[in-house]
A and B are shown apart, each in its own frame.
Chain A
Amino acid sequence: MKQKRDRLNDESRLSRFTTHVVLIFASFLAFGPFVWMFLTSIKTYEETIQIPMKFLPEIPQWVNYSIVSDKLNFPQLYLNTILVTIMMIVGQILIVTICAYAFDRLNFPGKNVLFMGMLALMMVPGQIFIIPRFKLMVNLGLTNTLVGLVLPGLFNIFGVFLMRQFFSTLPRELDEAARIDGCSYFRTYWNVLLPLVKPGLTTLAILGMLNTWKDLMWPLINNSQADKMTLAAGLAMLIGEHTTYYEQVMAGGVIAVLPLIVLFVIFQRQFVEGIAHSGIKG
């Protein structure tokens, strides 16, 4: 018996060691590139193209950050991205949750058909909408506006599914109690149920934020003016320059990724839960 336990301990010690090796290697692969981005961003041009390779700069060239800031108006890009994110999150919460509430709590003719319709529409890949959406934006005069970036993304079908799941976990007694107190449907939804699905709202907000920050194609198409771009489109512009000074490009990259990484480290639990919920089974 004792022998067996020792064997198990040895096995687990060995496996713990290999686990560490694997995870250190994987962490290096995942995070190493960002370290390299930072190191490159503080080199001189000559140092970036030096052969044999130089890992650390002689003198850190913080000036690259101000050079790249002259090329791209980062405060403006950040402001745009943040405003778009806020509008997206708030808009989605208002539009999506009330729709999800109706589908979960209320009965009405055509409910199932409409729900299946949404399901079908969710399966259609987004590229198919893009040309007509752009033409629509042109007609509405919403090209080169932040609203034009937000509008098509507001009607998030996945969000309805997600929030419906969250609503369905709440007991029906809550609704009945509210009705007896004389609450309207809207007040039941807004005052009673909505506050109870906060984790759902956090998830919706985090996924909305990630999608808005990551999206490249739509901002590229809809907003052509530099002062109306999001960070992603701005970075795409930076790499499109004729002559490529990578130390400047990397400085731009650092400016673009750092805040989100910091935000992630602080709110890691919420982020992880949010992303995990995107794997919820529909």
Chain B
Amino acid sequence: MKKKITALLLALTLVLSATALTGCGGGGGESSDGPVSLTLSLWDEAQLPVIQENVDAFNAAHEGEIEVTIEQIPWDTYWTKLDASLETNEAPDVFWMNTYVQKYVDAGVLEPLDSYIEGESFDMSVYAEGRVDAYNVDGQQYALPKGLDAVVVALNTELFDRYGVELPQEGWTWDDMRDIASQLRDAIAAAGGSEYPIVMELDAQPSWMNFLYQNGGNYLSEDGKTCGIALPESKDAIQQVVDLMNNEQMAPYSVLTETKGTDLFISGQAAIVFIGSWKSSVLEDSSLAADGKVQLIQMPSMAVDNKTNMGGLGYVMSANCENKEAAWEFMKYITGEEAMAHEAEEGIDIPAYLSAQAGYVENFQNINAQAFMDASATGFAYPSNGNFDWTTIVDDAMQEALGQVKTVDEAMDEGAAEAQAILDEVFG
């Protein structure tokens, strides 16, 4: 008897759990009475609290009509998960987009926004023009721009003081930087310290993407058909970085692999770091900055100039969204003046919404955030042609060059050839 009951219980559990769970999965809450529910996906943990506040404000204003919930997915897995969810029609209604936009336009999973914009004569000139254009694919607008970003250099003034090296001045060059790094290196060695003169992130945007162009080379030609990493100027730019590492002016590749440049800088392990504006709040909140030991300065010039590439996120709508009008309302709000002013005040992003930009700088107590604004004024758009088969090859080639498993010449030549083969196949 007892056994029978156990068996019955077991069977019951299985059935119950199975129904309960499939119930959650399939049911959804799309009943006609309650408010329309929307999901928003984004990746940046640091921005989440502020965006949550904006979303809360939106939800409060649309009480009983629209309810937006945020789903944060870390950068590492964001695109994989997004692809999977688009494939399974479980995509978030609204989500963050960046330079990958063309890929998703090609896959037909993004909702074109032109009809909404025209329908209510929505004025797109409230946003920075470059960021609007970045999300205009084949004459159709696919995103409302959120912000823009730029790259600057952060200095740990305490280390400069401690080792008796003078701080660089605006208008500095790579020669100046090398000189400073050598002084720091020698002083650190003499004092038995463990800090590094220069560190950087290994990703493209805050580091080598800038160097390529600043030195007169390129990543992708203007027409988007030719990969330029094997140009002599491009190779030279990368070689200069490798030389920094070999001369112990920069932390070695293996160290930068394990600990991100920004983390090394914040923990006081580095005097100079190339840093993107998306890290500004991390910097502002660090104890290093709180102690007044961080100073921002424009990037040093290479052969041509010191302009930085400028990315920026946008909000896009899934083509499968079931409540498109509500999603459009939300997108206008979250990229609008009120929300962007709040983001600016909190210093999490430089708004693409022009009239909201003023609030950005004032709200940094510990760092001179104006440096980001200055950099963005001259920034160039992050180069992209929407195909990412060739970019992974270039990324790998860069890592091989920086990690010195190949010479810069080998890595760039091979990478460029392989990437070009794909580009020719796709665009030729």
Chain A interface, number of residues (Cβ within 8 angstroms): 35
Q: Could you tell me if A86 and B13 are in contact, using CB atoms closer than 8 angstroms? A: yes
Interface residues in A75-98 by Cβ distance below 8 A to B read 83, 86-87, 90-91, 93-94
Q: Give the contacting residue for A145; candidates B22, B46, B74, B85; CB below 8 A.
A: B22
Q: Is A276 an interface residue (CB 8 A)?
A: no
Tell me the complex Cα distance, A244–B266, Å. 12
Tell me the complex Cα distance, A243–B285, Å. 13
Enumerate chain B residues within 8 angstroms of A145, measured Cβ to Cβ.
21-22, 24-26
Q: Could you tell me if A243 and B76 are in contact, using CB atoms closer than 8 angstroms? A: no
Enumerate chain A residues within 8 angstroms of B90, measured Cβ to Cβ.
143-144, 224-225
Q: Give the contacting residue for A242; candidates B11, B74, B85; CB below 8 A.
A: B74
Tell me the complex Cα distance, A107–B21, Å. 38
Interface of B is mostly: helix
Contact bitstring B43-75, A, C-beta under 8 A = 1, else 0: 011100000000000000000000000011111
Chain B interface, number of residues (Cβ within 8 angstroms): 38
Closest to B92 in A: A225
Q: Could you tell me if B14 and A91 are in contact, using CB atoms closer than 8 angstroms? A: yes
Q: Is A32 an interface residue (CB 8 A)?
A: no
Enumerate chain A residues within 8 angstroms of B85, measured Cβ to Cβ.
144, 224-225
Enumerate chain B residues within 8 angstroms of A19, measured Cβ to Cβ.
none
Tell me the complex Cα distance, A243–B266, Å. 11
Tell me the complex Cα distance, A138–B46, Å. 32
Interface residues in B9-34 by Cβ distance below 8 A to A read 10-11, 13-14, 17-18, 21-22, 24-26
Contact bitstring B71-88, A, C-beta under 8 A = 1, else 0: 111111100110011011
Q: Is B301 an interface residue (CB 8 A)?
A: no
Q: A239 CB to closest chain B CB, in angstroms?
A: 8
Enumerate chain A residues within 8 angstroms of B202, measured Cβ to Cβ.
none
**Known contacts being A87-B18, A90-B10, A93-B10, is A141 close to B263, with CB within 8 Å?**
no
**Known contacts being A93-B10, A242-B45, is A147 close to B21, with CB within 8 Å?**
yes
Q: Is A183 an interface residue (CB 8 A)?
A: no
Tell me the complex Cα distance, A220–B80, Å. 10
Enumerate chain A residues within 8 angstroms of B267, measured Cβ to Cβ.
49
Q: Could you tell me if B17 and A87 are in contact, using CB atoms closer than 8 angstroms? A: yes
Q: Could you tell me if A86 and B26 are in contact, using CB atoms closer than 8 angstroms? A: no
Contact bitstring B193-234, A, C-beta under 8 A = 1, else 0: 010000000000000000000000000000000000000000
Q: A99 CB to closest chain B CB, in angstroms?
A: 17
Closest to B7 in A: A190
Q: Is A226 an interface residue (CB 8 A)?
A: yes
Q: Could you tell me if B21 and A83 are in contact, using CB atoms closer than 8 angstroms? A: yes
Tell me the complex Cα distance, A71–B282, Å. 17
Interface residues in A209-232 by Cβ distance below 8 A to B read 220-221, 224-226, 228
Q: Is A249 an interface residue (CB 8 A)?
A: no
Q: B269 CB to closest chain A CB, in angstroms?
A: 8
Q: Could you tell me if A94 and B14 are in contact, using CB atoms closer than 8 angstroms? A: yes
Q: Could you tell me if A225 and B21 are in contact, using CB atoms closer than 8 angstroms? A: no
Enumerate chain B residues within 8 angstroms of A91, measured Cβ to Cβ.
14
Q: Is B262 an interface residue (CB 8 A)?
A: yes
Q: Could you tell me if B10 and A237 are in contact, using CB atoms closer than 8 angstroms? A: no
Tell me the complex Cα distance, A143–B85, Å. 9
Q: Could you tell me if B81 and A224 are in contact, using CB atoms closer than 8 angstroms? A: yes
Enumerate chain B residues within 8 angstroms of A142, measured Cβ to Cβ.
25
Tell me the complex Cα distance, A228–B25, Å. 9
Binding site for B on A (CB under 8 A): 46, 49, 51, 71, 83, 86-87, 90-91, 93-94, 138, 141-148, 190-191, 195, 220-221, 224-226, 228, 237, 240-244
29 contacts between A and B (CB under 8 A): A49-B267, A83-B17, A86-B17, A87-B14, A87-B17, A87-B18, A90-B10, A90-B11, A142-B25, A143-B84, A144-B85, A145-B26, A147-B18, A190-B7, A191-B3, A220-B77, A224-B77, A224-B80, A225-B85, A226-B71, A226-B72, A226-B73, A237-B73, A237-B77, A240-B74, A240-B76, A241-B74, A243-B46, A244-B259
Binding site for A on B (CB under 8 A): 3, 7, 10-11, 13-14, 17-18, 21-22, 24-26, 44-46, 71-77, 80-81, 84-85, 87-88, 90, 194, 259-260, 262-263, 267, 282, 287
15 other contacts beyond A228-B25, A242-B45, with CB at 8 A cut-off? A86-B17, A87-B18, A87-B21, A90-B11, A91-B14, A94-B11, A143-B90, A191-B3, A224-B90, A226-B72, A237-B74, A237-B77, A241-B74, A243-B263, A244-B259
